[in-house]
């Protein structure tokens, strides 16, 4: 704006007007769901700009945070208050304070962030001993905290540790039996995406409350960031698998939520078969050991599930993970080049054989020794499977081998 004609000072030729300045807000009004700001052009530097008017509610949250910090000083004492305040600020900056000023002008959003902040304060004060512990693993199994700020508190802890220890260890969190809801599961997936230092969480068991919506969000995260068999890929886990605890137990009975989580884990990492969890103990299942990407050719989750007679996992792997029902072992000195149908026929798994055939398994595929699934069933004497594969039970002969 050329003000030469107006200014009493010869050197004042221009006034630069950056965006959202030079406009004075005179008042506000509401029309339906719209906020109307009555304004005029002005060079009054003391007047509120449109941005300041729009961000008044955000400033209220900042003022409220200052008061909360004073309350936390009284509740926590000098030893713990610094960590508590840092976690509070990191959490709020990650959550509501990352929103645009316009977001706060929605009454529901504003009420929600105020509620979040109060629950966050209570959660930090309650859990401060666990949060302040100098440990990269946060144990929250059976977490009793309620309210809308649980993932916000976790975000504050993760970001605080990542900032305080830039070269520190990877972090992990035990959230078993935490009763996560679908929204929290989505928020946890977003947090793990934004914070690569949070490499492992354990959400198996006691989290059916997240429903399939939440399980799919977490599974989608790990499928996206963990390419199967990629050398140098940072391992991530939804089942608590870390370098220091590299095993995962797959129970015989799983809820639909745990099925989805475990299938995502097993299909995006490399595992090897361990000792049955039921041997000598009360738990029945299979223990698997996570291995490096260099062993990727030795692990095929679909063949493992078929061999273990896991009808539930095989169906899920076909339906949602798009596994090939005719996938075969790669040729090697220790491999028979079996398909899932070969394994079912060899081990006498009648229900598995029926399921695989219904899903399009090809009976004519041959293994390394030129055997079809029918030939293997005949050698083993599995009459029901011979019939299911279209063979004649009378053709079964003891001791026959075509190798």
Measured CA angle at 159 (ends 156, 165), to 5 deg = 130
**CATH code of residue 327:** 1.25.40.20
Q: What does the pLDDT look like over 148-203, one tens digit per residue?
A: 999 999 999 999 999 988 888 899 999 999 999 999 999 999 999 999 999 999 99
Q: What is the model's pTM?
A: 0.80
Residue 205: per-residue pLDDT: 93
Q: Is 265 domain-assigned?
A: no
Residue 130: per-residue pLDDT: 93
* Residue 335, CA distances (Å) to 291, 329, 346, 399 in order: 19, 7, 14, 22
- Residue 314 tokens, joined: 């095989």
Domain count, the chain: 2
| Residue at which a domain ends, from 54, 69, 86 | 54
DSSP letters spanning 266-307: HHHSEEEEEEETTTTSS--EEEEEEE-GGGGGG--HHHHHHH
Q: Is 230 domain-assigned?
A: no
**CA-only gyration radius of the chain, Å:** 30
HSE (CB half, 13 Å, CA atoms) of 43?
A: 6
State the DSSP code for 234.
P
* Residue 8, CA distances (Å) to 3, 39, 234 in order: 10, 27, 66
pLDDT tens for each residue of the chain, 403 residues long: 666 777 777 676 666 656 656 677 777 777 776 767 787 777 666 655 556 655 677 888 888 888 899 899 889 888 899 999 999 999 999 999 998 877 887 888 888 999 999 999 999 999 999 999 989 999 999 999 999 999 999 999 999 999 988 888 899 999 999 999 999 999 999 999 999 999 999 999 999 999 999 999 999 999 888 754 444 456 899 999 998 899 999 999 999 999 999 999 999 988 988 755 444 445 568 999 998 766 667 899 999 999 999 999 999 999 999 999 999 999 887 889 999 999 999 999 999 999 999 999 999 999 999 999 999 999 999 999 999 999 988 877 654 444 3
b/e map 214-247, b = 16+ CB within 10 Å: bbbbbbebbbeebeebeeeeebbbbbbbbeeeee
Q: Is 251 domain-assigned?
A: no
Q: Is 330 domain-assigned?
A: yes
CA 322 to chain centre: 20
Q: Is 213 domain-assigned?
A: no
Q: Is 19 domain-assigned?
A: yes
Report d(CA 63, CA 67) in Å as an integer: 7
Residue 26: per-residue pLDDT: 74
* Residue 354, CA distances (Å) to 311, 318, 345, 363, 364 in order: 10, 15, 10, 12, 15
Closest CA to 290 of 271, 264, 262, 266: 271
What range does the domain containing 388 cover?
Answer: 322-403
Q: In degrees rounded to 5, what are phi and psi of residue 274? A: -110, -145
| Residue at which a domain ends, from 54, 79, 95 | 54
């Amino acid at each position: 704006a050329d003000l030469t004609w107006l200014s009493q000072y010869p050197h004042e030729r221009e006034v630069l007007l950056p965006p959202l300045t030079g406009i004075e807000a005179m008042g506000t009004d509401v029309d339906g769901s719209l906020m109307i700001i009555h304004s005029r052009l002005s060079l009054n530097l003391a007047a509120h700009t449109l941005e300041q008017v729009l961000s008044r509610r955000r400033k209220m949250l900042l003022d409220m945070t200052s008061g909360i910090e004073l309350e936390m000083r009284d509740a926590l004492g000098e030893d713990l208050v610094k960590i508590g305040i840092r976690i509070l600020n990191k959490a709020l900056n990650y959550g509501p304070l990352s929103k645009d000023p316009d977001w706060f002008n929605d009454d529901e959003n504003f009420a929600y962030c105020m509620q979040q902040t109060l629950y966050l304060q209570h959660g930090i004060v309650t859990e401060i001993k666990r949060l302040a512990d100098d440990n990269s693993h946060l144990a929250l199994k059976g977490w009793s905290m309620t309210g809308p700020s649980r993932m916000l508190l976790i975000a504050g802890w993760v970001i605080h540790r990542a900032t305080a220890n830039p070269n520190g260890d990877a972090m992990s969190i035990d959230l078993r039996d935490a009763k996560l809801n679908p929204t929290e599961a989505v928020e946890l997936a977003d947090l793990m995406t934004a914070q690569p230092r949070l490499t492992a969480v354990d959400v198996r068991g006691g989290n059916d409350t997240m429903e399939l919506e939440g399980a799919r969000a977490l599974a989608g995260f790990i499928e996206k960031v963990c390419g199967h068999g990629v050398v140098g890929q940072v391992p991530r886990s939804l089942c608590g698998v870390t370098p220091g605890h590299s095993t995962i137990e797959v129970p015989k009975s799983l809820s639909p939520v745990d099925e989805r989580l475990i299938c995502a884990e097993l299909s995006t990492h490399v595992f090897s078969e361990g000792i049955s969890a039921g041997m000598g103990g009360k738990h029945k299942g299979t223990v698997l050991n996570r291995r490096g990407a260099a062993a990727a050719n030795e692990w095929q989750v679909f063949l493992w599930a078929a061999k273990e007679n896991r009808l539930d996992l095989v169906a899920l792997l076909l339906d949602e993970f798009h596994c090939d029902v005719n996938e075969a072992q790669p040729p090697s000195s220790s491999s028979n080049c079996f398909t899932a149908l070969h394994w079912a026929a060899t081990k006498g798994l009648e229900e598995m054989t029926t399921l695989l055939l219904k899903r399009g398994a090809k009976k004519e595929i041959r293994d390394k020794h030129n055997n079809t699934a029918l030939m293997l069933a005949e050698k083993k004497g599995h009459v029901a499977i011979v019939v299911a594969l279209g063979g004649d039970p009378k053709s079964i002969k003891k001791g026959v081998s075509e190798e």
